[in-house]
Homo-oligomer: A and B are copies of this chain.
Amino acid sequence: MIRLLVTGGTFDKEYDEIGGTLFFKDTHVAEMLRLGRSRVAVTVETVMLVDSLQMTEQDRARVAERCLVSAETHIVVTHGTDTMVETAAHLARHVTGKTVVLTGAMVPYAFGSSDGLFNLGSALSFVQVLPPGVYVAMHNQVLQFPGVTKDRNAGTFVKERA
């Protein structure tokens, strides 16, 4: 059994056709699990729907708290990529004994050419087999915290040099 905590991010952004801007309405995770024909029990919990640039320390504490109280020991967190590293570092300090995998997308799922479905399939797989710890799974890679930074120019994540 897996708990999936939704926090928003590019993953769940939509296009507001009147204003011409991006916004959040609902998470697409349930639809994506249907499309992926998932047969693993996944409990989806929307913690918040925010752009990760707007995420506060209070928000990160709330995500950590939801991981701590989760009955499931395998947890996937969808998250914006801009501050995914900060949240993962926070979780690595406060959550132990559980496998937590953060994932996100470079392009909104609703926009057709998204990497979201690929990343969700990846995160939900890594979380089933990795030992307890906090990880980010994107771009077909999995990296464990602490020790990961974002390469903002490349839009990806890399291991910190020793």
Choice from B33, B125, B152 contacting A126 with Cβ under 8 Å: B125
Whether A110 contacts B113 by the Cβ 8 Å rule is yes
Distance of A152 Cα from B18 Cα, bound (Å): 8
Residue A35 at the chain B interface, CB threshold 8 Å: yes
Give the contacting residue for A111; candidates B111, B140, B155; CB below 8 A: B111
Which of B17, B40, B115 makes the CB contact (< 8 A) with A141? B40
**Interface 1/0s, chain A 110-126, versus B by CB < 8 A?**
11111101111111111
CB distance from A8 to the nearest CB of B (A): 12
Q: How many copies does the complex hold?
A: 4
Task: For the complex, give the distance between the alpha carbons of A149 and B79 in Å.
Answer: 36
**A51 CB contacts on chain B under 8 angstroms:** 20
Given contacts A111-B112, A126-B125, contact A140 B32 (CB under 8 A): no
The interface residues of chain B lying within 8 Å CB-to-CB of A42 are 140
With a CB–CB cut-off of 8 A, which chain B residues contact A33? Answer: 140
- By a CB distance below 8 angstroms, the chain B residues around A137 are 125
List the 6 closest A-B pairs by CB distance, nearest first.
Answer: A112-B112, A121-B121, A36-B118, A118-B121, A38-B140, A125-B125
